[in-house]
Amino acid sequence: MTELLVRAFARDEVRDHVASFALLHGVRPEEFDADFMDWWFFRNPTHEGLLSGAFDGDALVGYVGFAAQHLRVNGRRVSAAILSSAFTHPDHRGKGLFQRLIRFLVEAAGARGHEAVFGWPNETALRIYLGRLGFSAMFPVDRSARPVSFGPLGARFGKPGVFVAECAGAAFDRVLPLRLGRYRYEIGPASEHEWEGFMARVLAASDCMLERPHAYVRWRLSRPRREYIEVRIRDERGVLRGWAAARLPIPSEPPRLHVGDFLVDPRSPRALRALFAACAMEARRRSLEQVYTIARSARIGSTLATLGFVSRRSATPIVGIATSNADLSPYHAWEYRDADMDMF
């Protein structure tokens, strides 16, 4: 076996290696989403993404990448790299290749001025991140879901069970409009001017928050082969107080509304509850069976529980490492409410 070479990809190389990417993913070449690779790593509006590969001669045997994201931490703007899409060929596992790829990206992130690198590993990779790569466990993540169609819950009891479950669910959902309180909801994007004002209010009240400029949000919701809706809530004066981007299911997925990103004005009472009540109402209107989201913090969890969400703690936490002598402790105030780790 030749000495493995780890290096960055050029954008025009991605499609030359579609067969190898597909093999690493365990899919047929025609099923591999090269458009997503190009969009996520090379068309991110920060223009700071990186995709790296490990080569055995001309053969691609592993890859990992990151996309840059800017955060406001205690009023200071910092840049971080978010790891994603780490794959290695089965013949090269257990030989340190994964570690080489991650170390390459951490060094590259530091060279580009990113203060920290974050990732959301699986259970197998977690031991490597924490034990050999020097990452720290930052905070846990909860997966939360709420049934919208209650029939499947009673399906085990046959048609009578389905009927009873649907009747009980319909009665339960009648209170959802009451959860909106003084807010009203609407579907569609906010204007750039309104969005930037809303974002400024959110950042001013947050110790650690991901920045979402208007151009960045519009880019995120342009992911190839995906369809999104935007849910907005306004107060009685018409001021934007909450926003959620929710992905509609593709044919191979369960019929659920995946709320992949959401923001509320922290100074707006009950806005978070109203926002997710609106998401549940919209999912029911679209005949979907479930609302699903990924979030962190006791405040978010308790609010979702009042709306009938059931939460399950992820088996692995978000992990992070500083690329210099930066202090990572301020990031513990980050209320993770964004599924950028797996791009929902």
Per-residue confidence (pLDDT) for residue 154, from 0 to 100: 67
264 touches 343 (CB < 8 A): no
311-341 confidence digits (pLDDT tens): 999 999 999 999 988 889 999 888 876 554 3
Per-residue confidence (pLDDT) for residue 151, from 0 to 100: 67
Tokens of 237: 């004066």
Q: Which residues pair with 243 in a beta bridge?
A: 232, 263
pTM of this structure: 0.89
- Helix, strand, or coil here: 101? helix
Percent of the chain predicted with pLDDT > 90: 56
pLDDT category of residue 2 using cuts at 50, 70 and 90: low
pLDDT at 290 over 50: yes
Q: What is the spatial distance between Cα 115 and Cα 109, in angstroms, rounded to a whole number?
A: 8
227 touches 246 (CB < 8 A): no
pLDDT category of residue 344 using cuts at 50, 70 and 90: very low
Q: What is the spatial distance between Cα 269 and Cα 224, in angstroms, rounded to a whole number?
A: 36
Pairing of strands 76-88, 116-119: parallel
pLDDT at 55 over 90: yes
Q: What is the spatial distance between Cα 266 and Cα 68, in angstroms, rounded to a whole number?
A: 25
Q: Which amino acid is at 127?
A: R
Rounded to the nearest angstrom, the gap between the alpha carbon of residue 95 and the centroid of all alpha carbons in its chain is 30
pLDDT at 1 over 70: no
90-119 confidence digits (pLDDT tens): 888 888 899 999 999 999 999 999 999 999
234-284 confidence digits (pLDDT tens): 999 999 999 999 999 988 888 999 998 899 998 898 999 999 999 999 998
119-158 confidence digits (pLDDT tens): 989 898 999 999 999 999 998 989 999 887 676 766 777 7
225 versus 187: which is more confidently predicted?
187
Enumerate residues 6+ apart whose C-beta is below 8 A from 91. Answer: 61
Per-residue confidence (pLDDT) for residue 217, from 0 to 100: 92
Classify residue 30 as exposed, middle or buried by CB count within 10 Å of its CB (0-12, 13-18, 19+). Answer: exposed
